[in-house]
Amino acid sequence: MRFIGWCRTLCTGFRRSLQWSSAPSDRPIHILLSICDHYEPGNGGAPAERADGRVRNWVEQYPKLLANFKDSDGRPPRHTFFYPIEMYRPGEVDQIAGLCRAGFGEIEVHLHHDHDTARHLRKTLLDWKQLLRDRHGLLSRHRDTGETMYAFVHGNWALNNSRPDGRFCGVDDELEVLRETGCYADFTFPSYPDVSQPRKINSIYYAQCDPGKPVSLDRGIDVGAAPAPQQSLMLIQGPLIPNWKSRKFSVLPRIENGNIQGNQPPTEDRLNLWIKARVQVASRPDWFFVKLHTHGATEHNQAVLLGGPMVRFHENLAERARRNPNFHHHYVTAREMYNLVKAAESGWSGSVDAARDQTLIWPTG
């Protein structure tokens, strides 16, 4: 039944994509660009030496290649490293934390698990949160309460036990466990073509657990459409939209899913599709939330993220801003994107830059 529902959702996306227009060029628009990296140095069972080399290359090459690019606020490209709990090696975290403290990103929480329980998951997340905060000086805090907070990406896409076979999670009330342990938002989706893909697409919304039932994330209340429900978690999705310029068998459109990898480099044509998906909060129609994802630690994907394709993409962004005074681009971390969502939800009419730290604050020093 879920497969049928998803097919209906995708067909609706097909029809809407024929009608959707790109962002207007005659009035200001702001592209809020966040790359959420499922950052796994040990991906593929890499030995410690190879994993160390992967991290070292990121730390050395990222500033060299990208430090001179600046967004509309004068900030360099920023990367969010969702580091996997089960692959933890202190030295890796310390190296990436140094890159982040230099102004190039932030570290958040990633987890692969299987046949888990809510009790075990809660302990895992709380212990990890304490470790990142106390040993590494990481994770944000809530401006008003002082609580340590984190963003989340689920390994194998199986958030809230969303796979039909029940693999790679096991916790039907995972959204509630995340919320209770200080997760401020989930950034897992889209997962298409994986079977875990929710029916709700191109959305920023609040989802609630349906006790004892998985896949609560198939539905929810769009941020800004109504007050946030009690005991709900925000989900910030990336773009999922048919690409009619690239077709299979010259007929069927390929699906743009916001993935950056070796065979899917960022391009200006893809940027236009990300904008066209219109992941937005209704009160700020000039803000376009573009959440992308990648597995950036592997050599295959580093060739794009730390190579010519990414350099050309940032060059294209800068050139587009020079050509069009109404086009503004902002490099944001996952935390900053959440803050901007909350700002839009509250009716914020000020600038993007002034709202980057509105709710959650990153540690300094």
Percentage of residues in the chain having pLDDT higher than 70: 90
> Quick check: 107 and 81 in contact, CB under 8 A?
yes
Q: For 172, phi and psi rounded to 5 degrees?
A: -65, -30
Bridge pairing between strands 232-236 and 29-38: unpaired
State the number of CA atoms in the 13 A half-sphere of 263 facing the CB.
Answer: 0
Give tens-digit pLDDT for 271-320. 999 999 999 999 999 999 999 999 999 999 999 999 999 999 999 999 99
**Would 365 be classed as within a structural domain?**
no
Residue with the larger pLDDT of the pair 243 and 175: 175
Residue with the larger pLDDT of the pair 244 and 321: 321
**Residues spanned by the domain of 261:** 2-20+30-359
Give tens-digit pLDDT for 233-257. 999 999 999 988 766 656 678 899 9
**Would 25 be classed as within a structural domain?**
no
Number of domains in the chain: 1
**Would 173 be classed as within a structural domain?**
yes
Average pLDDT over residues 205-217: 79
- Residues paired with residue 34 on neighbouring β-strands, in sequence order: 291
Return the pLDDT at 23: 64
Mean pLDDT, rounded, of the chain: 92
Bridge pairing between strands 252-256 and 79-84: unpaired
Predicted confidence band of residue 67 (pLDDT cuts 50, 70, 90): very high
Return the pLDDT at 247: 62
Average pLDDT over residues 166-184: 95
**Would 282 be classed as within a structural domain?**
yes
Give tens-digit pLDDT for 104-138. 999 999 999 999 999 999 999 999 999 999 999 99
CA 128 to chain centre: 20
Average pLDDT over residues 194-222: 87
pLDDT of residue 86 exceeding 50? yes
- Residues paired with residue 36 on neighbouring β-strands, in sequence order: 80, 293
> Quick check: 96 and 123 in contact, CB under 8 A?
no
Return the pLDDT at 53: 97
In sequence order, which residues have a C-beta less than 8 Å from that of residue 113 and are 6 or more positions away? 86, 121, 124, 155, 168, 169, 170
> Quick check: 131 and 353 in contact, CB under 8 A?
no
**Would 225 be classed as within a structural domain?**
yes
> Quick check: 331 and 285 in contact, CB under 8 A?
no
Predicted confidence band of residue 22 (pLDDT cuts 50, 70, 90): low
Predicted confidence band of residue 340 (pLDDT cuts 50, 70, 90): very high
Lookup result for tokens 């024929």: 18
Average pLDDT over residues 263-269: 96
pLDDT of residue 365 exceeding 90? no
pLDDT of residue 18 exceeding 50? no
Q: CATH no. for residue 91?
A: 3.20.110
**Would 364 be classed as within a structural domain?**
no
> Quick check: 80 and 34 in contact, CB under 8 A?
yes
Any idea which of 22-26, 145-149, 231-235, 343-347 has the lowest mean pLDDT? 22-26
Sequence letter at residue 232 = S
Return the pLDDT at 20: 52
pLDDT of residue 24 exceeding 70? no
Return the pLDDT at 4: 46
pLDDT of residue 5 exceeding 90? no
Return the pLDDT at 25: 65
